[in-house]
Amino acid sequence: MDLLGRVRALLADHPPAGTAPLDFLRARFDAGLAWVHFPVGLGGLGLARSEQAVLEAELAAAGAPDNNPRRIGIGLGMAAPTILRYGTEEQKARFLRPLWTGEEVWCQLFSEPGAGSDLAALAARAVLGEDGVWTVDGQKVWTSTAHTARWAILLARTDPAVPKHRGITYFVCDMTDPGVEVRPLRQITGEAEFNEVFLTGVRIPDAHRLGAVGEGWQVAQTTLNNERVAIGGQAAPRESGMIGVVAEVWRNRPELRTPELHQRLLKGWADAEVVRLTGERLRQQLALGQPGPEGAAMKLAFARLAQELSSLELELLGEEGLHYDDWTMTRPEVVDFTGREAGYRYLRAKGNSIEGGTSEILRNIIAERVLGLPAEPRADKDLPWKDVPR
């Protein structure tokens, strides 16, 4: 049966109007229509990634429910491709279905207070006991969705006697373990979208390790490359996102216009088109294989443009743009970037150049891995992690 035949069979057996959304999503996964490029039995059909657009259009036309991809973005965009590449068959069978349906939310325990931009400097320790269970102690920070997550992808140091990139191991962490404590981290917007996570004696069975012991840095590259694509390379129609918001203000409020702001709007519109079309090209490259460091350029451009356009909107609106709707601390599951006021967008956009890899780190990646420029000096590159001055 071809792809469209399988979609129509799913819709016939599970009519969206008469089927509970979760039941529909489970049936869709089991039919291999979740992510068509995944293997058979894991929500896919082993088809080309480009077939996904055909599938999504057919289901959308039928009114089928989606799996709220913004709410479960870390699981879909970061955990799933890493599990698919490095996970055991048991791990794939256990984690991928509830991840895709949204029954289990994931978060990412990578960044630490002393290891954000220099992630390989992380200090959270994992020690393997004689019973085959790892014990993890440490602190993580800037963790999105930790307050709703059932599982986390975790990096921890397992060998402090080797250089920092070689002594790291990659785990799946149970966020319901009694040693996991999640604390809200209030941001400049007033929201606590991010969290601090304290790990005290957290127990992780060796069966929840992804990749070999000490090779977590290589595993993490798959996650990080997909993270940047997920943040900066989402499919978008023309004039969507921030450029759409600013263009609407410009059209509806002629009294706010000035020649100088007009020139900035035109430049922003052209830049937004460049970013949008570059993202489309990146997605086509992804259809042919694994994401590369080019995703860093996409995320870098997205962050710069979001900040420029949110600033332009604020200048267009003047004092009106400084109004703020609500400073009450909330813990949202998703960022409602375009659904809030201009002041919120201006403040929230500041985080775009920090989350998912800072712009400074991304420039290093582009310089070294895309342009082939000499690497900057790293005095601690070959030192055992335990001997690096702190």
What does the block give as tokens for 163?
């250089």
What does the block give as tokens for 268?
């922003």
Range list of H helices, the chain? 3-13, 21-30, 51-61, 73-74, 80-86, 89-101, 216-232, 242-252, 259-286, 294-317, 342-349, 359-365
Residue 215 phi, psi (nearest 5): -115, 25
Question: Is residue 308 flagged as an active site residue?
Answer: no
Residue with tokens 């989402």: 234
CA dihedral angle for residue 297, residue 300, residue 304, residue 306, rounded to 10 degrees? 100
Alpha-carbon separation of residue 55 from 11, 32, 48, 60 (angstroms): 12, 11, 12, 9
Q: How many residues does the chain have?
A: 390
Residue 207 phi, psi (nearest 5): -65, -15
What does the block give as tokens for 166?
């070689």
Bridge partners (DSSP) of residue 127 are 135
Give yes or no for a contact between 133 and 205, defined as CB atoms under 8 angstroms apart.
Answer: yes
Q: Which of 58, 112, 191, 227 is catalytic?
A: 227
Give the separation between CA 71 and CA 102, rounded to whole angstroms. 8
Give the separation between CA 345 and CA 315, rounded to whole angstroms. 13
- Catalogue the active-site residues: 227
